[in-house]
Amino acid sequence: MNDKAQGADRASERGKAKRNGAAVPAMDREELLGFYRQMLLIRRFEERAGQLYGMGLIAGFCHLYIGQEAVVVGLQSALKPGDQVITGYRDHGHMLACGMDPRGVMAELTGRAGGLSKGKGGSMHMFSREQNFFGGHGIVGAQVSLGTGLAFANRYRKNDHVAMIYFGDGAANQGQVYESFNMAMLWKLPAIYVIENNQYAMGTSVERSSSETHFYRRGSSFGIPGEEVDGMDVRAVRDAGTRAVARARAGEGPMILELKTYRYRGHSMSDPAKYRSREEVDQMRETRDPITQLENILLSAGLATEDDFKGIDREIRAIVADSADFARESPEPDPSELMTDIYS
């Protein structure tokens, strides 16, 4: 192992030490309840999307984020307005966490005029200039080069914004990821590479696809430090995100965060997920679920009551029901939309 790789490993160890050594992260009731609300919104939204898919109202590919909610909710809390976000095709949770309208997201899933892309993008392709969300990309790994370009523009303009670039353990084996790592470190770009390791690239487990299964080490050849993070603990995610963002804002260059997480559903709606056991899924769900974990933390610390959670649940169910109603009632795009937005 060369010096740089060792450096990256040491940085990772430091990250772990900081996380474990600092013991209980700060407990801010409002912040944690905010996390709870956002995670629950994503969970309930995705469940409803799955339901609408089953009813034939959503078609094509539909990749649900259920189980991974703590990743995007924790990391987005480390950003400030004007920072950029980009991800792949499992993107509904990221859009909601970026503050994009659940109605617009759901109506895009149903392919209606009220969708964020006017019904022309679909599940994998939504964007928001206002929230600096740059997609929503269907080609595995493409968002990593594109996101590096978002970070490049920040450096070019000499502002202090950062780009948060999400991709999965599957995308982490694409060549352009390493082309991007190289340029990002060479030019000290404010890029945070978030590898959401949910342990399966579609149906292929990490062990069957990756010679180096510790993804936080994947920047070693470029001298990019990495950190492994418990992606089911929203507080740990927030803390790791805050450290990486501070480093990028300070002009110290990119960082890799490997978020250990898990998706409960199949890769897409048409995947029965027979490559893993029901016991494995149940065990994750029962012992590691990010929402239940946070609920227990808040309860045992006396920061919230069952009534608080019931109130939040009612509020979220109403938002999701409203988005589903909107998505069904919104008309199909006008036929004239077929030939618009091809050139600007």
Partner 1 sequence: MAIEVLMPALSPTMEEGTLSKWLVKVGDAVKSGQIIAEIETDKANMDVEAVDEGVVSQILVPAGAVGVRVNTPILVLSGAGGPPASAGKAMPAPAASPPAEMRVAPVPAPASRMVLSADPELPAGVEMVATTIRDALRDAMAEEMRRDPDVFLMGEEVAQYQGAYKVSRSLLEEFGPDRVIDTPITEHGFAGLGVGAAMNGLRPIVEFMTWNFAMQAIDHIINSAGKTLYMSGGAITCPIVFRGPNGAASRVGAQHSQDYSAWYMQVPGLKVIAPYDAADAKGLLKAAIRDSNPVVFLEHELLYGEAHPVPAVADWVLPIGKAKIRRPGTDVTITAHSRMVGFALKAADQLAQQGISAEVIDLRTLRPLDIDTIVESVRKTNCLVSAEEGWRHAGVGAEIAALVTELAFDHLDAPPLRVTQADCPMPYAANLEVLSLPQVADIVAAVKAVLYRS
> Which parts of 310-339 interact with partner 1 (CB under 8 A)?
310, 313-314, 317-318, 321, 324-325, 328, 332, 335, 338-339
Kindly state the smallest distance separating residue 4's Cβ from partner 1, in Å. Answer: 16
Scanning 17-25, 44-52, 243-251, 301-309 for contacts with partner 1 by CB under 8 A, the matching segment is 44-52
> What does the block give as tokens for 160?
């202090």
> Considering CB under 8 A, how many residues would be counted as binding partner 1?
85
Kindly state the smallest distance separating residue 228's Cβ from partner 1, in Å. Answer: 25
CB nearer partner 1, residue 152 or residue 205: 152
Kindly state the smallest distance separating residue 259's Cβ from partner 1, in Å. Answer: 21
CB nearer partner 1, residue 62 or residue 240: 62
Kindly state the smallest distance separating residue 266's Cβ from partner 1, in Å. Answer: 8
Kindly state the smallest distance separating residue 1's Cβ from partner 1, in Å. Answer: 23
Residue type, 323: S
List 35, 36, 45, 53, residue binding partner 1 (CB under 8 A): 53
Asked whether the CA dihedral 174, 126, 70, 292 is positive or negative, the reply is negative
Please give the residues from 117 up to 146 whose contact with partner 1 meets the rule CB under 8 A.
117-122, 125-129, 134-139, 142, 144-146
> What does the block give as tokens for 280?
């494995």
The residues with which 201 forms a beta bridge, in sequence order, are: 204
CB nearer partner 1, residue 8 or residue 177: 177
Q: Cα–Cα distance between 116 and 109 in angstroms, integer?
A: 9
Q: Residue 222 has what DSSP assignment?
A: G
Kindly state the smallest distance separating residue 68's Cβ from partner 1, in Å. Answer: 14
Three-state secondary-structure class, residue 195: strand
Binding-residue pattern over the window 168 to 207 for partner 1, x denoting contact by CB under 8 A: -------xx--xx-xx--x---------------------
User: Does 279 contact partner 1 by CB under 8 A?
Assistant: no
> What does the block give as tokens for 213?
């299964």
Kindly state the smallest distance separating residue 322's Cβ from partner 1, in Å. Answer: 8
User: With the CA atoms of 259, 263, 267 and 268 taken in that order, what torsion angle do they form, in degrees rounded to the nearest 10?
Assistant: -120
* Closest to 219 (Cα-Cα) out of 246, 252, 258, 248: 258
Scanning 19-27, 72-80, 116-124, 245-253 for contacts with partner 1 by CB under 8 A, the matching segment is 116-124
Kindly state the smallest distance separating residue 338's Cβ from partner 1, in Å. Answer: 7
Residue type, 273: A
Residue type, 189: L
> What does the block give as tokens for 102?
């659940």
Binding-residue pattern over the window 210 to 239 for partner 1, x denoting contact by CB under 8 A: ------------------------------
Q: How far is CA 228 from CA 18, 54, 175, 326, in A?
A: 12, 36, 22, 40
Beta-strand runs (E) in 234-282? 255-260
Q: Cα–Cα distance between 42 and 61 in angstroms, integer?
A: 18
